[in-house]
Structure 1
């Protein structure tokens, strides 16, 4: 009995309680909005409750694993992820024109999801091992480790997940000491490309014009972002209806379960990618501010854990995971509000989905493990 009590108390000590409180508030808010969004399909509401339970269980288990042990698993995880991505390339399951899933016998997996966590773990391990003296060659090698999974995921095609994987990996490289001077040319190149796209919009978006680097549906997403009215009942429908829902919510919102855009089925994908449109219509500007405050607290807690991390591996990984949450929120809200193209990125702890929630739970578990890690101290020999 004493052993069981000691194990329970030990497992509770692994929990970062401020982080858990923030997650509980976000989860409660997410379940509340989901209840309104599902309408008559109550099975999704029950499924989402189950998904949250699984995600929190995964978080608890991961939090109890010392981050030093997770660090040793970085290489096996990375190599396994690459093998699975290659398996998707040659033996993957195709659905709606995309080959992103792999049947491993007992279940069907989406390897690209795990790479959101595995890539920053691998890069954090790499920089931790080379922390004594970082050279340009080390940053180039890290770039190769990042580009291999990124390229394989882009080929599926899954640009949204590929960008998230690239972002988390890039943040590790930047936090490891990549000079901002090396990034300045890339920033200038990006701004120049954006200006040229805006200037030559009509020519670039003309039917039959091939962008080469993007698939046709990805080209349509960018062109629809620039002018949703060109295809209001097709490619621009998602963006237009999302903006209408947000605007109709006003300052105070229409009230819980009173959103007309939601319950008249105008908002597409209202339980997943466009859950924020449902929330904004029913809770208005003040509700949106409250949600942003909760996400800001999540980011602040993540950065606090990053600063107090006792190892280089922990600092780099915690910083990258925290920025991953930021990218999730920024991209999802941006695409719903019409300032970013639609790339299929869920809103953390709000959107429906089991895989995404488990991934987020795993990430939070890693943050808790980093927060509670105490390096072992070698005993000082007596004279």
Structure 2
């Protein structure tokens, strides 16, 4: 019923008001604008992630401490964003988008290099971060703000404006190169437009256009990106080269069996056969050491977070809140799906880490800030009569 109500709200139909009385005492969680269930699920995921990261990093406690400190910053971002009303977020959307776009241009001009990519900005002695991660929030905020002021479902003119807003950031991120993040930003934008009530004719048209653009995309991909696609189709074609990552990853997951080899007892990870085991391929460590049972528990935790997020999105009482909240939680789902899919060999490797588990700072802060926005939308609802 929650998904039905969410879809009805996107198309402008009346949504049933929350079942609450005109007057009620506000709980502690309401006063601090946090959702206890979502916060509990996120804390459980963060704690479990640190446990897996300790093993994946080669039992380096300094890596875990660094990640825990980043989680602390991420939780602060969640709390701060939860205090801002959706009205404030709506007002700040163009500023957030413009600032993120300027930082992407700055990366193009003077960004810091790392592992063959120019993706970072560095404030000496302060922080090193990826502006592309900020666009994951700025993009849906901007499109949700624009569409919330238009008649829905969106018309062709509105779709063209959305495409123009989306094109430059995606191209700048793809040039870094960072195909994974550019696809996630694209997904965030697409979800906003779909939730705005896009008709099936438009959806079919866009699918045809996307299919027709695949040859153009292939021609503009970097050589290593093309190699990733070819390796996905046939990993055994280069087992000691391009196919090494995915072969070692699937071997690690398969060797874990039902209940795994035990924490810190993995061979592929602890003997360093598995590359990027503390970032993109951390799921392989999870599968080897905790087995299918452990992976199912993690998937259940992610599913509960997504379900709670959808419930909060459905509870939004204005178009901006519904579009933004729906896009944030659905993009989070894609984040999880793409990482697990590429590590298990059902998707090409695109460099997307496992959210809130893989080692990384900017992505964790951005994700938690998104959940803070979800809590803000829930906490700032008006009390409506029965």
TM-score range, shorter chain: 0.7 to 0.9
Partner of 1:109 in structure 2?
129
Q: Residue 350 and residue 10 in structure 1: after superposition, are their counterparts in 2 closer, same or farther (change >3 A)?
A: closer
TM-score by length of 2: 0.87
Q: 1:212 to 1:132 in 2, by over 3 A?
A: closer
2:288 aligns with: 281
Counterparts in 2 of 1:111-260, with a 5 A limit?
111-131=131-151, 134-187=154-207, 211-260=218-267
Work out the number of aligned pairs and report it: 356
Q: Is the 8 A contact 2:257 2:292 kept in 1?
A: yes
In structure 2, what is the equivalent of residue 267 of structure 1? 274
Summarize the Cα distance change of 1:211–1:119 in structure 2 as closer, same or farther, 3 Å threshold. closer
Please state whether the residue corresponding to 1:232 is helix, strand or coil. coil
Any conservation in 2 of the 1:139–1:178 contact (CA below 8 Å)?
no
Given candidates 369, 373, 381, the residue that maps to 1:374 is 381
- 1:333-372 matches, cutoff 5 A: 333-372=340-379
Quote the Cα distance in structure 1 between the aligned partners of 2:51 and 2:371.
22
- 1:53 maps onto 2:72 in alignment: yes
Q: 2:57 aligns with which of 14, 17, 38?
A: 38
Residue 117 of structure 2 corresponds to: 98
Distance in 1 separating the partners of 2:334 and 2:361: 19
**Deviation readout 1:279-318 (Å, 9 max, x if unpaired):** 1111111111111111111111111011110111100000
Q: Does 1:297 align with 2:304?
A: yes
* Superposition TM-score, scaled by structure 1 size: 0.87
What is the CA distance between 1:103 and its match in structure 2? 3.8
Unaligned runs of 5+ in 2: 1-26
Report the Cα distance in structure 2 between the residues aligned to 1:133 and 1:176, rounded to whole angstroms: 6
Q: What is the CA distance between 1:189 and its match in structure 2?
A: 6.5
Secondary structure at 2:219 match in 1:
coil
Residue equivalent to 1:204: none
2-structure distance, mates of 1:318, 1:279: 30
Contact conserved, 1:171 with 1:323, CA < 8 A, in 2?
yes
Higher relative contact order (CA 8 A, sep 6+): 2
Q: Does 1:68 align with 2:75?
A: no
Contact 1:19 1:301 in 2 (8 A): yes
* RMSD over aligned Cα atoms: 2.3
Deviation at 1:232, TM superposition (A): 1.2
CA contact (8 A) 2:34 2:375 kept: yes
SS of equivalent to 2:181: helix
Q: What displacement does 1:47 show?
A: 0.9
Q: Which residue of 1 aligns with 2:4?
A: none
Partner residue, 2:40: 21
